[in-house]
Structure 1
Amino acid sequence: MPTSSPARRTFRSSVAALGAAGLVALAPVSAAHGEENTPDLVVGGMAPVSGLRPGDGIDVTATVANKGTVTAEKVWVAYSVTRGLDFAEMPSNCRVQHVRPYDEMPERWTAVCAFEQAVEPGAVYTTDRPLRVTALDRALNDELRLRVESAYPGADENGSDPVAGTAPPVKLVVTEAGGVGSARIVDVPVTTVNTADYQVTGTALRGSVADTVTMTVKFTNAGPAWVWPREGDKAVRVVITPPAGTSVVKRGTFCRAEDGAYVCGMRSLYEGSGETYTFDLRIDRRVPDAKGSIALSTEARPFDPDKANDQADITLDVAGDGSDGSAGGSDGTGGSSGSTGGSDGGSSSAVAGGTANSGTTSGGNLAETGPSVLPTAGMAAAAVAVGAGMLLIQRRRRAQLPD
């Protein structure tokens, strides 16, 4: 893969940081450093595109002009499209590469076309046929970038090896048409009518008081469109509220505490991508029906009409709440905890509190144990009476014996 010089790498880093507006601002600086005798090329020819549907195509015709006083002996025009768009065919004098996302730039495809033609000062040129670009199933908010250079711009270091096209070569022809443009780089918004379904997934937690449990919840863009927020768009966030009675030991990545909840971001909004947020929670106390939530923030999302999956519950079931008798018994109040279920809790209440009859509404062993106490007490009383009678008879008999 061709590599660029250190100076060009530095320049491209500046491009990523400043954007197209920054490139325009750099033009006077170049002239101030002794480059006023170079061609002053500008590109244009495309207006913003909207109303496309997946599968639709647009014809891209680049217009090149030389506003300087020096002839450009050869020019290169680069076409770049974000990942919702694709090139239908590629002329043989163009080389295409796939570029991975970096420096907040999204994934894209770039075609650099070389024109072995002189571009005279004051003249306007256009391509002799348009380059066809197609909207993919994942298209939504995309961008077409046009760029013109008087020297080979080199391949992007973050991209694949460039591949030459196979269609007949494209040429520049002199034109009297307007739309000359005013910059070396022009960004054209391309909007497709499509949807993207943002959704969240909750979880069910279980543990005992003093346990630390792991809470894992998720955000997903179920597509079909990818989403690339444009400048000025408010970022959508995920808001996570842990269940009552817990405290956060370790929070999830990309999350910050805010107003009793945790506000989280995501790394990608590509279709099918998502973010998993993992928290460690300590169960401090049992709160009946404790429930938290994961929800999307309220920023407008006109591309996401399905709001039913924008919120999900985070439930917490704290063990030891009566099912195993650990919630009571020793303080004589076990009957009430036994009423929440569990035969063990009921039987321990009858023994410890002696309140079997008051617990018969819970069913189970309480109702069975209560009546069994009465026959046992009667038998014990009878045994005591019989023993006392036998002792009295023995004493009388001894008194009647002769000396």
Structure 2
Amino acid sequence: MAHASPRRRALRRTASAVGVVALIALGATPAGAADPDTGLVMGKIGPIDGVKPGSELDLPGSFTNAGTAALDKVWMAWSISFGLGYSHPTPSNCSTYSDGGADEAPQSNFLICEFDQTVNPGVVYAPEGLKLMIDDSALNDELFARVSKSPIEMPEGGGIPGTGPAIKLVERPDGTPAAPGSTEPATAQTKVTAKSTADFQVTGAHLKGKVGDTVPLKVKYANAGPGWVAGEPYESVTNVHIKMPAGTTVTGTHSCREEGQGAYVCGTDSSFTRPNTEHTYTFNLKINKAVPGAKGSVALENKPRPFDPVKSNDTADILLDVEGAGTTGGSGSTSGSGGSGTSGSGSTSGSGGSGSAASGSSGSTSGSASTSGSGTSATGGSSATGTSGSSATGGDLAETGSGSTLPLAGAAAGAVLLGAGGVLLARRRAAQQR
């Protein structure tokens, strides 16, 4: 097991603290505590599959008052992961809030609505007029919903009141009401799967020098989108395997794990990747001797990526021309492309912008990432890593493996709305095992 960097340890503490603060602020009930919303039962929300990016649908969420008395007022709240948004304008009896995100999850967006109307027992109700937006970056997302007898408060200083026409709850005679006295939860969740992809790709390099020289090597990993991808908490969203050309020695790198015999494994600096973002891995490479035809390689880890149908750019060459040893020819481009692998730095900046309609501003990405099958490059795009400075460090999560494509933003949102019990407990256990 590779050691954890100081920043990774700080990340764990910060993420847990954020989850607890948000949980308290939004009034969610931790697991094991008395449930003040007994009698309110959320209807189950089935999976939402195959939605088209750029489309919209009714925001899911219905409930039953399973008690014996009518209620004068109820509150409903939703949280959605990065690839989703809410319709605009926000109704005047609702507020939105964005949590800003963390290193292991991008920004999540919340909607809280107050319904000042009678809610009778045994009747299924749902809000009328709320829409869920499927953003261009949507891929594997999640939605959480909650109903409450008590106000669900926004964090202090958070929450933007709506300015649009107020909405109401309407009866749903086609819905199946919860049984009287039911103790089923006042929460529900579902996955939202978009009909989209995310293209992970790597770029190599073409180096030149003479024996005794130390030359800089920069290779890149990029998500060319259009979808965002999340991995397991506190783990790299993917790993990149780098093999150095024969006759060379690495004299300097950062946060990449040496595997021996000139092989290295490099990760990413967060557990998710937005579209049109990249990471640059930098090494100092000393040329010890001339080896004709010396060639290294860059490759994405050999793990299933069902969201990524383009395999031709999963590997690239590191070519080395040593003076007096002939030439290797060609270029260090992504396999199947004609682009150069030596351009730019992988610096990223920005402030954790969201791809959803209810989010704040988007950041920017500098540098370029070669795309498959062409000599073009993907630049810019709406992105933010949640950190500033160059990503040429190889990532502070570089020593971890990657996980499945789980929507971490949805998981963080769920901790806020559903109670911290399961999510935070799992994170504590994961942290203790590292």
TM-score scaled by length of structure 2? 0.60
Instruction: Report if the CA contact (8 A) 2:37-2:148 is conserved.
Output: no
| Corresponding residue of 2:372 | none
Instruction: Report if the CA contact (8 A) 1:77-1:114 is conserved.
Output: yes
Q: How does 1:277-296 map to 2 (within 5 A)?
A: 277-296=281-300
The separation in 2 between residues aligned to 1:279 and 1:16, in whole angstroms, is 40
- Displacement of 1:193 in angstroms is 0.9
| Corresponding residue of 1:195 | 197
Q: How does 1:192-231 map to 2 (within 5 A)?
A: 192-229=194-231
Q: What whole-Å deviation, never above 9, does each CA across 1:226-264 have from its counterpart, x for those lacking one?
A: 223479x995321111111122222243x2223642222
| Corresponding residue of 1:96 | 96
Instruction: Report if the CA contact (8 A) 2:42-2:62 is conserved.
Output: yes
Instruction: Report if the CA contact (8 A) 1:240-1:294 is conserved.
Output: yes
Instruction: Report if the CA contact (8 A) 1:123-1:174 is conserved.
Output: no
Structure 2: runs of 5+ lacking an equivalent: 1-14, 328-434
| Corresponding residue of 2:8 | none
The separation in 1 between residues aligned to 2:247 and 2:36, in whole angstroms, is 73
Provide closer, same or farther for how the CA distance between residues 58 and 207 of structure 1 changes in structure 2, counting only shifts above 3 A. same
The separation in 2 between residues aligned to 1:146 and 1:164, in whole angstroms, is 19
The separation in 1 between residues aligned to 2:240 and 2:22, in whole angstroms, is 28
| Corresponding residue of 1:297 | 301
Higher share in helix: 1
Instruction: Report if the CA contact (8 A) 1:292-1:314 is conserved.
Output: yes
Provide closer, same or farther for how the CA distance between residues 313 and 12 of structure 1 changes in structure 2, counting only shifts above 3 A. closer
| Corresponding residue of 1:240 | 242
| Corresponding residue of 1:155 | 154
Match of 1:273 among 246, 270, 277: 277
Percent sequence identity is 38
Residue 134 of structure 1 aligns with an amino acid whose one-letter code is M
Provide closer, same or farther for how the CA distance between residues 279 and 164 of structure 1 changes in structure 2, counting only shifts above 3 A. same
In the alignment, is residue 257 of structure 1 matched against residue 258 of structure 2?
yes
| Corresponding residue of 2:57 | 58
The separation in 2 between residues aligned to 1:279 and 1:192, in whole angstroms, is 38
Q: What whole-Å deviation, never above 9, does each CA across 1:333-375 have from its counterpart, x for those lacking one?
A: xxxxxxxxxxxxxxxxxxxxxxxxxxxxxxxxxxxxxxxxxxx
| Corresponding residue of 1:387 | none
- Displacement of 1:72 in angstroms is 6.1
Instruction: Report if the CA contact (8 A) 1:200-1:311 is conserved.
Output: yes
- Displacement of 1:37 in angstroms is 6.6
The separation in 2 between residues aligned to 1:312 and 1:129, in whole angstroms, is 52
- Displacement of 1:292 in angstroms is 0.7
The separation in 1 between residues aligned to 2:244 and 2:155, in whole angstroms, is 45
The 3-state SS of whatever aligns with 2:230 is: coil
The 3-state SS of whatever aligns with 1:102 is: coil
The 3-state SS of whatever aligns with 1:301 is: coil
- Displacement of 1:65 in angstroms is 3.8
Residue 152 of structure 1 aligns with an amino acid whose one-letter code is P
Q: How does 1:340-359 map to 2 (within 5 A)?
A: none
Query: Which 10-residue stretch deviates more, 69-78 or 185-194?
Result: 69-78
Q: What whole-Å deviation, never above 9, does each CA across 1:11-44 have from its counterpart, x for those lacking one?
A: 9624989xxxxx88x44x213xxxx676454423
Provide closer, same or farther for how the CA distance between residues 175 and 211 of structure 1 changes in structure 2, counting only shifts above 3 A. same
Provide closer, same or farther for how the CA distance between residues 16 and 182 of structure 1 changes in structure 2, counting only shifts above 3 A. farther
Provide closer, same or farther for how the CA distance between residues 151 and 57 of structure 1 changes in structure 2, counting only shifts above 3 A. same
- Displacement of 1:58 in angstroms is 2.1
Q: How does 1:251-400 map to 2 (within 5 A)?
A: 251-253=253-255, 255-258=256-259, 260=261, 261-266=263-268, 267=270, 268-321=272-325
Provide closer, same or farther for how the CA distance between residues 12 and 273 of structure 1 changes in structure 2, counting only shifts above 3 A. closer
Residue 257 of structure 1 aligns with an amino acid whose one-letter code is E
The separation in 1 between residues aligned to 2:55 and 2:291, in whole angstroms, is 56
| Corresponding residue of 1:6 | none
Instruction: Report if the CA contact (8 A) 2:205-2:219 is conserved.
Output: yes
The separation in 1 between residues aligned to 2:115 and 2:83, in whole angstroms, is 27
The separation in 1 between residues aligned to 2:139 and 2:95, in whole angstroms, is 26
The separation in 2 between residues aligned to 1:179 and 1:283, in whole angstroms, is 73
Provide closer, same or farther for how the CA distance between residues 69 and 286 of structure 1 changes in structure 2, counting only shifts above 3 A. farther
Higher relative contact order (CA 8 A, sep 6+): 2
Instruction: Report if the CA contact (8 A) 2:63-2:125 is conserved.
Output: yes
- Displacement of 1:10 in angstroms is 8.8
| Corresponding residue of 1:170 | 168
Instruction: Report if the CA contact (8 A) 1:61-1:126 is conserved.
Output: no
The 3-state SS of whatever aligns with 2:33 is: helix
The separation in 1 between residues aligned to 2:109 and 2:55, in whole angstroms, is 18
- Displacement of 1:302 in angstroms is 2.2
The separation in 2 between residues aligned to 1:211 and 1:68, in whole angstroms, is 79
Residue 259 of structure 2 aligns with an amino acid whose one-letter code is E
Instruction: Report if the CA contact (8 A) 2:42-2:147 is conserved.
Output: yes
Instruction: Report if the CA contact (8 A) 1:289-1:316 is conserved.
Output: yes
| Corresponding residue of 2:78 | 79
Structure 1: runs of 5+ lacking an equivalent: 1-8, 18-22, 324-403
- Displacement of 1:53 in angstroms is 1.4
The RMSD of aligned alpha carbons is 3.5
The separation in 2 between residues aligned to 1:184 and 1:82, in whole angstroms, is 20
The separation in 2 between residues aligned to 1:322 and 1:56, in whole angstroms, is 56
The separation in 2 between residues aligned to 1:147 and 1:245, in whole angstroms, is 61
Provide closer, same or farther for how the CA distance between residues 221 and 187 of structure 1 changes in structure 2, counting only shifts above 3 A. same
Provide closer, same or farther for how the CA distance between residues 193 and 174 of structure 1 changes in structure 2, counting only shifts above 3 A. closer
Instruction: Report if the CA contact (8 A) 1:79-1:145 is conserved.
Output: yes
Residue 131 of structure 2 aligns with an amino acid whose one-letter code is R
Greater Rg by CA: 1
